[in-house]
Amino acid sequence: MSFLSALFSPQSAAWAVFAVVLVSAAGLALGNVRFFGVNLGIAGVMFSGIICSYLGLSADPVMLGLLRDLGLILFVYSIGTEVGPGFFASFRSEGLKLNMMTAAIVLCGVGLTLVISRFASIPMPMAVGMYAGAATNTPALAAAQQTLSGTPGGPDMAAVGCALAYPGGVLGVILVILLLKRIFRRELRTDLAKALPSGPALINASISVDNRNLDGLRIRDIPALRELGVVVSRVYHDGKLSIAGAETLLRAGDIVLAVGLEENVRKFTLIVGSRSATDLKKLPSRIINSQVIVTRGAVIGRTLEEVDLASRCDVAATRVSRAGMEFLVPEGYTLQFGDNLVVVGEAEDVSRAAELLGNSPKDLDQPRLIPVFIGIGLGVLLGSVPILVPGLGAPVRLGLAGGPLLIAILLSWAQTIGPLNWYMPPPANLMLRELGIVLFLACVGLESGGKFFETILRGDGLRLIALSAVITVLPALAAAYVFKRRYGFNFMALCGALTGSTTNPPALAFSGTISQSSMQTMAYATVYPLAMILRIISAQVMLLFFLRHK
């Protein structure tokens, strides 16, 4: 590579960028190679950096640090914007129990890490790196390295521990899934049958108003309508089909078109009357339904009642798709940028509603860079704020991993603040996330390659790998068994929560080979934000205790 020295100075930014790009490309190729049916995925970049570093490839430490931190910020910020809209909803009902299991897995992992460090005489920086690798959580490694920035050799030691533990972290969760599959083999068939998709989540049904008690009643006053979450979109009265509104009066003998979950529509039918042989959707009429995208700034953040589509455009909004999930439009629903509304009405009225709501698909593909930079700036500020924790000798800082993550979650959940909108198009989000994690892992690998091979060849690398596997397997297996027995989780939801609690995409992909259900993916997304935050903070807290008592 002597010819490169004529092109680059070893201390130049150009050489650092070239080295990182070279490592990244090789690592992505390595990550696609399958070993016993499992591939390293994005972690291949870190191992590519380790190998290249061992072979003599190096770059200016300052430049590597800058690229590493930039990559980390882009990664965690894009993760936050992705999970933010549904983050707080994940703590309801089943999501709360899944997050409780996630917290238990994280806390058990912390306890095991402290025990192993104490009784196996492993330096705390190395042990926390093993903890991060056992959970395949590179942001936790980044948080640990920042906390150890003033400790000589500490950041490199944490990176080596993470690299040693990472393969076992991927395979360990897969092993836990296989063990649980055997333990719960009796319940497995039933769970898999329930997990398989049984058709569309929402149905529509034409229902005859046979209940005389509903005669003259407004649609909004139908008993249990709100509780069942059913929407009435059309009414057939005296041979005329019309759009239904909250104030529409019902008459005995009318036929209504109800939209909702199958079981809820069935219950609604028992209240109203009976299924009608007349399918309102097949009746000849000028009424159509169309999907309209919310993009107009004037309506974002306002409720449907405030926008008043019913009276202004004579249409009804029945369903909405947001972040890939479809659900009924509840009363008082707040419009957000990118919402995909199903609007029912005559063609002219639907066109007026589309104009009112924006309906500009090209706006979804237009990245809004000002909110991104403001969000990242706020995240860096938050990450630098010292947080006093009783019992610690030094304040905790969320750092460049936790600060941008929390800010991104909050801003994407709020979505609109004044004229600024924090919606990020999915393709742009994916690009930022992948670019960020690749930059971070490439730099980490280049910084720690020499010490990794030294530990493997001359140290006790095999013992550290085995102990890391214990940190991966025991908490996950114990918590999954207890919570499955206690709450009866569906097996696929259990797999999703396990892989989410260890932030383990390869293991999530493996669980997809058991069933084609989307249940594991939904559970993964439900617990992922909490797992990420707990991993980042716990890594810092363990090290702060270590630094205080050193």
Q: What is the pLDDT of residues 277-290, one digit of tens each?
A: 888 888 888 888 88
**Helices marked H in 184-328 — which ranges?**
185-195, 225-228, 262-272, 304-307, 309-313
Asked if pLDDT for residue 1 goes beyond 60, the answer is no
322-331, 372-381, 429-438, 487-496: segment of lowest average pLDDT: 322-331
Mean pLDDT score, 183-193: 86
Asked if pLDDT for residue 548 goes beyond 80, the answer is no
Span 338-364, pLDDT tens digits? 788 888 888 888 899 888 988 887 777
**CA gap 27, 442 in Å, rounded:** 8
| Interior angle at CA 450, CA 447 and CA 455, nearest 5 | 120
In a domain, 121, yes or no: yes
In a domain, 152, yes or no: yes
**CA gap 86, 102 in Å, rounded:** 17
Q: Angle, to 10 degrees, between the axis of helix 61-83 and the axis of helix 138-147?
A: 130
Q: Pick the closest to residue 253 from 279, 235, 231, 232 (CA basis).
A: 235
pLDDT of residue 108: 95
Query: Using 50, 70 and 90 to split pLDDT, how confident is the model at 109?
Result: very high
Which distant-in-sequence residues (6+ apart) come within 8 Å of 74 by Cβ? 432, 433, 435, 436, 439
In a domain, 498, yes or no: yes
**CA gap 173, 178 in Å, rounded:** 9
Label the pairing between strands 416-417 and 340-346: unpaired
123: Cα separation from own chain's centroid:
33
* Number of domains the chain is built from: 1
In a domain, 298, yes or no: no
Mean pLDDT of the chain: 83
pLDDT of residue 6: 62
Span 233-254, pLDDT tens digits? 889 998 888 888 888 899 999 9
Mean pLDDT score, 121-146: 88
Query: Using 50, 70 and 90 to split pLDDT, how confident is the model at 92?
Result: low
In a domain, 316, yes or no: no
146-155, 169-178, 190-199, 523-532: segment of lowest average pLDDT: 190-199
Span 15-24, pLDDT tens digits? 889 999 999 9
Q: pLDDT: is 181 or 398 the higher one?
A: 181
Up-side HSE of residue 237: CA atoms within 13 Å toward CB?
Answer: 13
Mean pLDDT score, 517-522: 74
pLDDT of residue 124: 92
In a domain, 142, yes or no: yes
67: Cα separation from own chain's centroid:
25
pLDDT of residue 256: 92
Q: Angle, to 10 degrees, between the axis of helix 519-549 and the axis of helix 61-83?
A: 140
- What token pair was written down for 442? 């490439």
Asked if pLDDT for residue 199 goes beyond 50, the answer is no
186 burial via Cβ count (<10 Å: 0-12, 13-18, 19+)? exposed
Which distant-in-sequence residues (6+ apart) come within 8 Å of 164 by Cβ? 129, 130, 133, 452, 455, 456, 461, 464, 465, 468
- Sequence letter at residue 199: G
- What token pair was written down for 151? 């400790």
218 strand-pairing partners: 249
Span 290-340, pLDDT tens digits? 888 888 877 877 888 888 887 788 888 888 876 556 677 766 777 877 788
**CA gap 279, 290 in Å, rounded:** 19
Q: Pick the closest to residue 155 from 57, 49, 65 (CA basis).
A: 65
**In this prediction, what percent of the chain has a pLDDT beyond 70?**
90
Q: What's the pTM?
A: 0.68
In a domain, 306, yes or no: no
Asked if pLDDT for residue 272 goes beyond 90, the answer is yes
State which H helix or E strand residue 416 sits in.
strand 416-417
pLDDT of residue 198: 47
**Helices marked H in 415-517 — which ranges?**
426-458, 461-487, 491-501, 505-511
Asked if pLDDT for residue 176 goes beyond 90, the answer is yes
Q: pLDDT: is 459 or 341 the higher one?
A: 341
| Interior angle at CA 439, CA 436 and CA 443, nearest 5 | 145
DSSP annotation of 261: E
pLDDT of residue 3: 58
Mean pLDDT score, 470-496: 92
8 burial via Cβ count (<10 Å: 0-12, 13-18, 19+)? middle
For the chain, how big is the Rg over CA atoms in Å? 27
Question: With b meaning 16 or more CB within 10 Å and e meaning fewer, what string describes 307-333?
Answer: bebbeebbbbbbbbeeeeeeebbeeeb
**CA gap 524, 522 in Å, rounded:** 5
CA distances from 478 to 13, 51, 108, 450, 529 (A): 48, 36, 9, 36, 22
**CA gap 517, 426 in Å, rounded:** 22
Residue 249 has a CB neighbour count (10 Å cut-off) of 14
**CA gap 480, 456 in Å, rounded:** 32
- Domain range holding 125? 79-193+376-434+460-549
Highest mean predicted confidence (pLDDT) among 74-88, 320-334, 485-499: 485-499
- Backbone dihedral angles phi then psi of residue 299, each to the nearest 5 degrees: -105, -15
The gap between the terminal CA atoms of the chain, to the nearest Å, is: 44
In a domain, 130, yes or no: yes
